[in-house]
Copies of this chain bind each other. A is one copy, B any other.
Amino acid sequence: MAMTGVLRPGHVQIRVMDLEAGVHHYRDVLGLEEMGRDASGRVYLKAWDERDHHSIVLRKADSAGMDFFGFKVDSEATLNRLEADLKQYGLTTSRIPAGDLLETGERVRFEIPSGHQIELYAHKSFVGSDLGQKDPKPYSPKFDKGIAPMRLDHALLYGPNVDKVLEIFTKVLGFHLAEFVTLPDSDIKGALWLCCSNKAHDIAFVVHPEPGKLHHVSFYMESWDRVLRSADIMAANDVKVDIGPTRHGITRGGTIYAWDPSGNRFETFSGGNSSYPDMPPIEWSWEGLGEGGGLDVAARKMHETFLTVVT
């Protein structure tokens, strides 16, 4: 009760075309800690305030993008129940054996109608943060190594059939809808901000003709000051920025969108609304998304890249 079922975004596997350039970006510029590499060459990283073994997995591939996005659930019982519920809903699920990802238990994988591979799992080894679990100090130099986000926060995914995705996440997986955008001259929800917590969102979708695309993986910064610091570090490291710093009207979070060396967009994000399942979702018109500042409170326009550049 209270927080049950799906707990939070747990891991995302990102495809990079040059592994060492990717490692340099995520480890040395973003400042994640390298936690290990597996037999297939994948590189595992975690943010300083995360406690489980890793949240980011980099895989060398011929094209950029996201292989899968995984949520941690509260127990094996929940994993089994949700797998059954997903099947009953009509989705095909498969089991990835424990150990396929380092320090991670068995995963239930399924493709949602937007073309994305989503995973649930109940176990990833607890490694703790650098501060320890007993009488922790308030600071470690790791907090300032590179951009140094606190955690993987969410992802925004692009693909078709967003209406069905909404149904799966809210009816089967127990998420609530925090905010949405309707398509032009329509009541159809074309973009969704979905929560399994009281964060601003844990995953988001925008309707798009091509399935399975990644818009961005987002990392949480402690403050708007730290978002500016992330811009400074991007500049010092020639990381190309897409949008920001600015505030999203949607979520009210501080943001910078930028690209990793393979062209995968990532975000440094701060603040943001709290959301609860009893609150009606906030509705944005298509014009509200652009001219209304839903995407960018300062510029109040639709940035063309927002709708067109995905991996």
Closest CB-CB distance, A289 to chain B, in whole Å? 9
- Is A90 an interface residue, CB under 8 A from the partner? no
Contact between A1 and B133, CB atoms less than 8 A apart: no
Nearest residue (CB) in B for A281 is: B133
> Which residues from 244 to 276 on chain A have a C-beta closer than 8 Å to any C-beta of chain B?
244-247, 249, 252, 254, 256, 271, 273-274, 276
- Is A173 an interface residue, CB under 8 A from the partner? yes
A31–B300 CA distance with the chains assembled, in angstroms: 22
**Can you name 19 extra interface pairs (CB under 8 A) apart from A198-B198, A225-B226?**
A2-B3, A2-B7, A3-B195, A3-B196, A49-B273, A72-B278, A126-B280, A134-B288, A135-B283, A135-B288, A138-B235, A138-B293, A139-B236, A197-B197, A223-B223, A223-B271, A224-B224, A234-B298, A241-B300
20 contacts between A and B (CB under 8 A): A2-B3, A2-B195, A3-B174, A4-B4, A4-B277, A74-B277, A133-B283, A134-B288, A138-B297, A139-B232, A198-B199, A222-B271, A223-B224, A228-B254, A231-B298, A234-B298, A235-B249, A235-B293, A241-B300, A245-B245
